[in-house]
Amino acid sequence: MIEVREWHEWPSAEAEAVAVQERLRSEVRFDGFPAEVRTAAGLDVAYGADDDEVIAAVTVLDLAELSVVDRSVVRSRVEFPYVPGLFAFREAPPLLAALTGLEVEPDVLVCDGQGLAHPRRFGLACHLGVLTDLPSVGVGKTALGRYDPPGPERGDRAPLLLDDEPVGAALRTRRAVKPVFVSVGHRCTLDEACELVLRLTPHYRLPETTRTADRLGRAEARGT
């Protein structure tokens, strides 16, 4: 069972949340990635009838078949306002609750969001990785920062820069299709993160982890 480190209270004020990010970002590690990744969890959040109801969906995939071997969903009310750069304080609590409901502990967490590609270098993937001490990767649909377009072929990548500092990569997962934006969350290097994302994208732009978690959350939102 996944254990969550209770390293901080969940604040309700913006200044307190920023202070938590500033304090915990030094806990991010770049070593400890598994020699062989057998399972990867996709984490995604959907919203219910109103923006105060959040549905946290987690799927665990067997990488050999890219098939779902476990899943967990948690519905809750958000307790933190919408503030750019502080999404983790809305979404991490229900995602952590969903993770603790899994029977299969994944080797890696793949978050629909940012890791080091964040104003304080501590996005959702970092936060979840540090609190669970599991390797984690952030895969964003849009860039937080600037980049030159990578080459057109699958696997081509270019540095993602924020404040002129490399924080991730624009990674081409499909030929001539818009890249995804990969950044380190915890216990991995950028090379390891990009290699994993390519394993998870044999047919589509987005990782199968993200796609399956998104479908699960949407189905729960519809009540199906």
Q: So where are the chain's domains?
A: 42-221
* Start-to-end CA span in the chain (Å): 27
| The total number of residues written for the chain in this structure | 224
Annotated binding site for Mg(2+): 44, 112
Mean pLDDT (whole number) for 124-141: 98
CA distance 134 to 137: 10
Rounded to an integer, what distance in angstroms lies between the CA atom of residue 167 and that of residue 120?
A: 11
What is the rounded CA–CA span in Å between residue 71 and residue 59?
4
Predicted TM-score of the model (pTM): 0.96
Half-sphere exposure of 218 (CA within 13 A, CB side): 6
Residues at the binding site are 44, 112
4-42: pLDDT as tens digits: 999 999 999 999 999 999 999 999 999 999 999 999 999
Q: Looking at 83-174, list the stretches that DSSP marks H as alpha helix, in order from N- to C-terminal side.
A: 88-100, 124-132
Query: Under CATH, what is the fold of the domain 42-221?
Result: archaeoglobus fulgidus dsm 4304 fold (3.30.2170)
